[in-house]
Amino acid sequence: MAEEVILKVEKLNKAFGGLKATNNISYKMTTGEISAIIGPNGAGKSTFFNLLTGYHSVDSGNIFFKGINITNWPPYRITRLGIARAFQVSNIYPRLTTYENVRQAILSQQKKTLDFFTPAHRLAKKETQELLEITGLSQQSDITAGNLSQGDKKRLELAIALGSKPDLVFLDEPTAGMSGEETHETMELVKRLNEEIGLTILFTEHDMSVVFGYARRLTVLHQGTVIAEGTPEEVRTNEEAQRVYLGEET
Amino acid sequence: MRRYGWFLGLIFILALILPQVLGEFWVHVAVEILILGIFAVSFNMIFGYMGQLSFGHAAYYGVGAYITGMLMVKASVPLPICLALSMIGAGICALIIGYFCVRLTGIYFAILTMAFGQLIYYIIFKWYSFTRGDDGLQGIIAPPLLFSANAYYYFTLLIAAAALIVMWFISESPFGYTMRAIRDNADRTRFIGINVRKYMLINFVVAGMFAGLAGALWGPFNRSIAPDLCNWHQSGTPVFMTVIGGPFGFLGPMIGSVIYTFLMAFVTGFTEYWPLTIGLVIIFVVLFLPGGVLGFFESRMKGFRSNASKPEETIP
């Protein structure tokens, strides 16, 4: 497949009061890539995601997705264009069932949410079942989502993101709060999605074994600035990256 | 809910028989229950399903009442056309007010809806040449066919049943579930590609239209209307009904209307302490039945059917 740029970020700046949360970040992703952004707490990872998905407004800089300038678009339009995200703290519909949570994302993707008269339970059955199957939530489908375990909530978070049928997905610490086994399962799923349907994935993670095991390219953020970028091997041996972040691990 | 189909059918048949066994006074009470029931269920489209407290819902009720009242008194327009025009007029009113209100949530939403509600009230109250201000509007007479208490009751029952069925369908549709999603987590809903404000506004307008329909039915029933129909006391009524009946089930507000209206008719028969009575009822419900009467019965039934394979039908 030709190297096709799906996401291009140019000199992105955002300050909260006097704090520069992102400082001139430029970034690029090609279709089908699976990459990670790492950095200590407060490095600007979540802010970066928030800027890319329209949650925060951008101070200066540009974001291009599939060649379209999406800077400062509202989140719902960015989502409709093909970017989805899974949040760090699971961000689900606590009073709907697991099934209804996933169906909601699918109905929205199918542009059926302005339908007033077809009972929702008749729609998107197959797609919802499939997605629950893939994410390993079939057993939990009738459980009210607020009552799910932490790990299952994170899985549901991922399922909702996938329900939008994105081309590019941001996963903010997708395995936070999961057991070792759940972490492995989730990341294998992420890897499969990347390999089988060519989903472009950008994730953040604190667990270094996950980062080095699954990302093909790493970017290290520190105080809102990119301080290192490259393959896992290159970053591992990068002195500055070691000093600010990786060094803490050992 | 679907499993209660036979139960609802039974209630409908009961409602058909009711006027044959009740005196005229209680038939009037039943009409009031139905009208305020539509009003309360429409309020709950915003409160229970969208998760926002509208404290100015009487504005649309009053606008609906005035449109029908004025058209009937001043232009002798047939009642069914009046009802349709009331829905449209109340909907337009809700569109203009809602445009500003859906920008806010929580207490700010409640305050702003209340402020706009009072604005409508004062316009009707002060615009004497057009609305006859606090004199109100008298002589709103239902057509001869619907003149008797029983006939108007059956007419209201028909309209109420149709309105409830339409609102029920909306609540179970993808749109209805999108409302629940916005209620549960508006932020997340933006990130699955939904323009939250637009959807909230549409819901606000639909709820306003049904409130307008309820108000439209009130005039020919009461034979007169007054600006008080828009006042904030009137906006409180569906709030009380919903709290009593339960906001988490579609029919909760309707059950609330039955309890509230029946109790009012009963209690005011022998004491002037109606506000005290309803105050005590609300304190009791809030403290001991936090899900309202419907919520209480649903949780009890779940207990009886503890070996049922599926959990209770969707909590909206």
pLDDT digits (tens, 9 = 90+) for A2-16: 578 999 999 999 998
Which residue type does B158 have?
L
Query: Per the CB < 8 Å rule, is A118 touching B174?
Result: yes
Confidence band, pLDDT 50/70/90 cuts, at residue B119: very high
Please tell me whether residues A96 and A3 are part of one structural domain.
Answer: no
Q: How confident is the model over B282-304, as a mean pLDDT?
A: 82
Please tell me whether residues A20 and A63 are part of one structural domain.
Answer: yes
Which DSSP string do the residues of A153-176 spell out, in sequence order?
A: HHHHHHHHHHHT--SEEEEESTTT
Query: Per the CB < 8 Å rule, is B192 touching A160?
Result: yes
Neighbours of A230 (CB within 10 A): 15
User: How many cross-chain Cβ pairs, A to B, lie less than 8 Å apart?
Assistant: 107
Confidence band, pLDDT 50/70/90 cuts, at residue B172: very high
Asked whether the beta carbons of B67 and B214 are under 8 A apart, the reply is no
CA distance A118 to chain B (A): 5
* Helix, strand and coil percent figures for chain B, each rounded to 5: 80, 0, 20
Alpha carbon of residue B296 to chain centroid: 21
Task: Using an 8 Å CB-CB cutoff, list chain B residues near A115.
Answer: 173-175
CA gap A220, A226 in Å, rounded? 6
- Tens-binned pLDDT, residue by residue, of chain A (250 aa): 457 899 999 999 999 888 888 888 999 999 999 999 988 888 888 899 999 999 999 999 999 999 999 999 999 999 999 999 999 888 999 999 999 999 999 999 999 999 999 999 999 999 999 999 998 899 999 999 999 988 889 899 999 999 999 999 999 998 888 888 889 888 999 999 899 888 999 999 888 888 888 999 999 988 888 988 898 888 888 888 777 766 554 4
For chain A positions 120-179, those within 8 Å of chain B (CB to CB) are: 120-121, 123, 142-144, 160, 163-164
- Tell me if A130 is assigned to some domain: yes
Kind of pairing between the strands at A225-230 and A217-222: antiparallel
Please tell me whether residues A177 and A61 are part of one structural domain.
Answer: yes
- Segment B98-118, tens digit of pLDDT: 999 999 999 999 999 999 999
pLDDT at B3: 63
- Segment A155-191, tens digit of pLDDT: 999 999 999 999 999 999 988 888 888 898 889 999 9
Q: How confident is the model over B53-59, as a mean pLDDT?
A: 94
Confidence band, pLDDT 50/70/90 cuts, at residue B302: low
Please tell me whether residues A154 and A51 are part of one structural domain.
Answer: no
pLDDT at B9: 87
pLDDT at A2: 55
pLDDT at B308: 37
Asked whether the beta carbons of B64 and B87 are under 8 A apart, the reply is yes
More confident residue, B241 or B308: B241
- Segment B187-227, tens digit of pLDDT: 999 999 999 999 999 999 999 999 999 999 999 999 889 99
Structural domain for A50, as ranges = 1-82+166-181+198-250
Residue A26 sits in a domain whose CATH number is: 3.40.50.300
Please tell me whether residues A78 and A170 are part of one structural domain.
Answer: yes
- Tell me if A187 is assigned to some domain: no
Task: Using an 8 Å CB-CB cutoff, list chain A residues near B312.
Answer: none
Judged against a pLDDT cut of 50, whether residue B313 lies above it is answered with: no
Here the contacts of B77-80 (C-beta below 8 Å, separation 24 or greater) are: B78/B143, B79/B142, B79/B143, B79/B146, B79/B220
Residue A141's nearest CA partner among A96, A105, A88, A91 is: A96
CA gap B301, B296 in Å, rounded? 9
Please tell me whether residues A57 and A18 are part of one structural domain.
Answer: yes
Confidence band, pLDDT 50/70/90 cuts, at residue B2: low
Task: Using an 8 Å CB-CB cutoff, list chain B residues near A85.
Answer: 191
Percent of chain B whose predicted confidence (pLDDT) is above 70 = 94
Confidence band, pLDDT 50/70/90 cuts, at residue B256: very high
Query: Per the CB < 8 Å rule, is A105 touching B172?
Result: no
Tell me whether B138 touches chain A (CB under 8 Å): no
| Both tokens assigned to B216 | 């439209």
Tell me whether B180 touches chain A (CB under 8 Å): yes
Please tell me whether residues A75 and A109 are part of one structural domain.
Answer: no
CA gap A167, A28 in Å, rounded? 15
pLDDT at B303: 53
- Give the residue on B whose Cα is nearest the Cα of A99: B314
Q: How confident is the model over B72-83, as a mean pLDDT?
A: 91
pLDDT at B131: 82
- Give the residue on B whose Cα is nearest the Cα of A101: B181
User: Domains in chain A: how many in total?
Assistant: 2
Number of alpha helices (DSSP H) and beta strands (DSSP E) in chain B? 13, 2
- Give the residue on A whose Cα is nearest the Cα of B175: A113
- Tell me if A172 is assigned to some domain: yes
Residue A224's nearest CA partner among A244, A247, A238 is: A244
- Tell me if A247 is assigned to some domain: yes
Task: Using an 8 Å CB-CB cutoff, list chain B residues near A93.
Answer: 180-181, 184-185, 188
Which of B165, B183, B187, B192 should one mutate to test binding to chain A, selecting the residue with the greatest count of A CBs within 10 A? B192
Tell me whether B194 touches chain A (CB under 8 Å): yes
Asked whether the beta carbons of A202 and A161 are under 8 A apart, the reply is no
Q: How confident is the model over B82-87, as a mean pLDDT?
A: 96
DSSP label at residue B311: P
Please tell me whether residues A235 and A119 are part of one structural domain.
Answer: no
Judged against a pLDDT cut of 60, whether residue B307 lies above it is answered with: no
Tell me whether A92 touches chain B (CB under 8 Å): yes
CA gap B210, A39 in Å, rounded? 54
> H or E segment at B278?
helix B274-288
This model of the complex carries an ipTM of: 0.89
pLDDT at B312: 40
How many CA atoms lie less than 13 Å away from A221 in the CB half-sphere?
28
Tell me whether A108 touches chain B (CB under 8 Å): yes
Per the prediction, chain B carries an average pLDDT of 89
Please tell me whether residues A24 and A136 are part of one structural domain.
Answer: no
Please tell me whether residues A69 and A175 are part of one structural domain.
Answer: yes
Residue A147 phi, psi (nearest 5): -95, 5
- Tell me if A34 is assigned to some domain: yes
Which DSSP string do the residues of B258-275 spell out, in sequence order?
A: HHHHHHHHHHTTT-S-HH
Q: How confident is the model over B282-311, as a mean pLDDT?
A: 72
> H or E segment at B10?
helix B5-21
Q: Is the dihedral of CA A177, A181, A186, A191 positive or negative?
A: positive
Domain boundaries, chain B: 2-230
Please tell me whether residues A112 and A50 are part of one structural domain.
Answer: no
Please tell me whether residues A176 and A159 are part of one structural domain.
Answer: no
CA gap A135, B77 in Å, rounded? 59
* Neighbouring residues of B240: CB distance < 8 A, sequence distance ≥ 6: B256, B260, B278, B282
